[in-house]
Chains A and B, each alone.
Chain A
């Protein structure tokens, strides 16, 4: 079986917890990790008589996201109740949006830096705002153990983003999620922490299998419980293969069986059917009579657009244009988030050599961040200091590898540039000394001289190596230059 046997069709549903201080319809804190049931009030616990009041900030963040996702924002949106019974849903309904969501018909471009697929537009059906349910921890078997419910999360604002089934491979699914997460980070609307549940993904997947009588679609399966982007990619892979085998065995097509929900088991790396007895879901939506429709969200789009900073796609283009760095470098920098972009820009501006700045960020800075498991905000060398170092390199006062030693010293000891340079014994070797050193080397190595005279210019490298052994502070470029000059003045053998 190869992927040429079928086409994978994937649509994703992403729940993003918005970064608001308080819940969607009450003043309770949304902080993660508090003692169970300590961040609750009559409203979010659904006590009789309590009424919801919209947290405007949540709508603001949702609109900001929807605008950045190229969605259409309607003039009229409203709140609906989605009715179902569950112990972690204390009102017996979830306040959500049904037929008039706050945004529709958007898209997100994805491209693969590793070139596995062409740039694609992934269309979005809608993005709507809703409240989260609580958390249940329980034993499925009746009477065997107590069930416990934590309502701290109840009422936390969630933005649900639903894509069209435009994704054609597990890899694309992962890239889509990575790009979406990056966008959300730039918009500063969510922490996007999958471990804490502030970003949750469900995948809908089936196969289109070409056959003699045309393309056959397999039944759509919803895959839940995927806890990382890598897990999404793997779960989609597994599910595609499983569906293909299943189709070969049963011949079941879309519509033959009800939509199935399967859970990803990350340990076993398989999806398993979930028992969903009450899944004949008729949610009996109705407009929530306790809330009033938000006033003309479409009218807020312009001011939101003005307040939104530069977003990843535009930023990648601008960095390439303005700083003459290549697409790959721009991608690496932008994908690390706005703070690193800011660092790069300052480094490029102050050092006067953007390409060098790009290289140093990609290699030395990012490696250090990774090793120390820190973000650029915690990186101890300010862009201004690093720029001074790059200037020395650019001016030929240091080579890259010596520069690296300096940066290392700055990181380890917290020394400023001058101290670090001094501590390594680096001093400017003057031209007279350089000249003297080169004369000695040329004199001591006649075989190198004859090689160079025979046209093998690169042979001079041996002299550069010897020079550095005698004095690590010499500028290799200058050594090479002087040596070649001296050799050219010698008479040929």
Chain B
């Protein structure tokens, strides 16, 4: 039995029955990383020793008959954006290259309490800004289905490590599609929970009103299990939702009677790849064969989703990222060189010039530190947001975007009165080639076309494998459900998965 090819749910029974140990499993995962990650580049850092120690201790606890958590002994990879005490948390940025958080994110606490073996940190677009993981300051991550192509982003590392069978489970974050899009492009399952379902405490903020932590896995059951562990109210996050979390892992395999599926006609317009459109139609037919009814619905404001998102997210980002100023932690420019540079500029000034035209040392330190340590895309979004929030522009951009956001939520409310889930594509195209869109931010932004509205409205969404292109690239099916209807969402997804074998296919790794 190849442990790296086995689902988390199946591995748990192996671990419980003693047919394998967490140590064996962890070693198998580490070997797979060793073998393939030089090519794939999913991990920024692997904590091999820490993982082995942790696995041994879980095995000992199991042998001693101690009570164990839901994930006891399972290796989990974590996107490098969740703070863990004493563990480098870079967010894919030079700015935080040396940052060691003194505290744990709530999700990290919950994973540890559940007995997870935290194997390492996955690559990502800097601060979650990007759709290809090419915006990482540290390395490229390649799509295991075709190393010439990107894995999607921003949680590209978390999706690629699953597709390459390096771990059974991983954690990503989704602000505009950052879990679902890489999951789709890598042929794995990814869930963006409803806003407030999972605590954001310790998640380094990109756009606070949109960010959610979510699970990635190779099966819907595994994603349900991981979501169950990380979800729930947290008194340290004012935006986290109160109330009990359903036992997703226990209900996920129960099919839904009379499932009503909505198709958004706007989703099947220009720009959608034909093969993807066909795969989605085929998936809908599968649902119909299972007794589901299909309803055409309209989301009249969905077309403004990307525009709205690219106002709101950068506005919040410009404020959230203001703290990276080189004063208290993180990257700081070489201050001696900076002071020399200022002095040289002062010398250059004509005697009657106003010295106020020069930066103060403090301002120059801010400018240099940020200029040297933040990437192009991050700077672009900070500038977009700063501009949109400026006096005289606020009403025309930010305020208007908030109004459109409310209309989009209204579209969803109407839709969910008629249907249980909305089905559609995740991305307009399959995985593109590395560098292909590097100079075209607008076409990169359109990657988020089908995913951003879920973030804007706070609804739940999932991406699951539903086919392959003729070139052999994975295609994802997106389902969305009303806020806090993750149980329905997961059950609807599992119904489809039970009828298909797309999720069982693995890329031929070199």
A interface list, Cβ under 8 A from B: 42, 45-54, 81, 83, 85, 87, 90-93, 142-143, 149, 277-278, 282, 284-286, 289-292
Residue of A with least CB distance to B387: A284
Q: How far is the CA of A48 from the CA of B316 in the complex (A)?
A: 14
Question: Cβ of B325 and Cβ of A92 under 8 Å apart?
Answer: yes
A78 to chain B, nearest CB (A): 12
Q: B329 contacts which chain A residues (CB < 8 A)?
A: 47
B319 touches A286 (CB 8 A): yes
Given A48-B91, A278-B363, 14 other A-B contacts at CB below 8 A? A46-B328, A49-B89, A49-B105, A49-B202, A87-B325, A90-B323, A92-B321, A142-B339, A142-B360, A277-B360, A284-B318, A284-B386, A284-B390, A290-B238
Does A49 contact B239, Cβ atoms closer than 8 Å? no
Known: A90-B328, A289-B209. A51 touches B322 (CB 8 A): no
- Please determine whether B319 and A81 come into contact, CB atoms closer than 8 angstroms: yes
Q: When the two chains form their complex, are residues B325 and A85 in contact, meaning their CB atoms are under 8 A apart? A: yes
CB distance B328 to A45 under 8 Å? yes
- Interface size in chain B (residues, C-beta < 8 A): 49
B138 at the interface (CB under 8 A from A): no
Q: Give the distance to chain A from B371, nearest Cβ to Cβ, in Å.
A: 14
Task: Tell whether A50 pairs with B89 under 8 Å between CB atoms, given A87-B327, A289-B316, A292-B238.
Answer: no
From A26, which residue of chain B is reached at the shortest CB distance?
Answer: B236
Q: Chain A contacts of B342 at CB under 8 A? A: 142
**Given A48-B204, A286-B389: A277 in contact with B356 (beta carbons within 8 A):** yes
B204 contact set on A, CB distance < 8 A: 48-49
Contact across chains for A53 and B235 when beta carbons are under 8 A apart: yes
Question: Can you list 25 residue pairs at the A/B interface with Cβ under 8 Å?
Answer: A47-B102, A47-B103, A48-B99, A48-B204, A49-B202, A49-B204, A49-B205, A81-B319, A83-B318, A85-B325, A87-B362, A90-B323, A91-B322, A92-B319, A92-B321, A92-B325, A142-B339, A142-B342, A278-B363, A282-B391, A286-B319, A286-B389, A289-B209, A291-B238, A291-B239
The interface residues of chain A lying within 8 Å CB-to-CB of B209 are 289
Pairwise interchain contact B238-A286, C-beta atoms closer than 8 A: no
Q: Does B203 contact A (CB under 8 A)?
A: yes
Q: Please tell me if the beta carbons of B83 and A49 are within 8 angstroms of each other in the complex.
A: yes
Nearest CB in chain A to that of B240: its residue: A51
Closest 6 CB pairs of A and B: A92-B322, A142-B361, A289-B209, A289-B208, A284-B389, A48-B204
Main SS class of interface, A = loop
Specify which chain A residues have a CB less than 8 angstroms from the CB of B89 in the assembled complex: 48-49
Report yes or no: A49 in contact with B203, Cβ–Cβ below 8 A: yes
Per the bound structure, the CA–CA distance linking A289 and B82 in Å amounts to 19
Check A46 against B323 for contact (C-beta < 8 Å): yes
Tell me whether B96 is interfacial, beta carbon within 8 Å. yes
Taking a contact as CB atoms closer than 8 A, the residue among B322, B361, B386 that contacts A93 in the complex is: B322
Q: Is B237 an interface residue (CB 8 A)?
A: yes
B101 within 8 A of A: yes
A48 touching B322 in the complex, CB below 8 Å, given contacts A142-B342, A277-B360, A286-B315: no
Chain A residue at minimal CB-CB distance from B364: A142
Contact (Cβ within 8 A) B319 A48: no
| Complex-state Cα separation, A46 to B82, whole angstroms | 15
Interchain CB contact under 8 A, A49 and B238: no
Of residues 282 to 341 in B, which have CB atoms within 8 Å of A's CB atoms?
Answer: 315-316, 318-319, 321-323, 325, 327-329, 339
Residues of B within 8 A of A91 (CB): 322-323
Q: A142-B342, A289-B208 are in contact. Are A49 and B82 (CB under 8 A)?
A: yes
User: Are B319 and A93 in contact, CB atoms less than 8 angstroms apart?
Assistant: yes
Q: Which of A52, A90, A282 contacts B238 (CB 8 A)?
A: A52
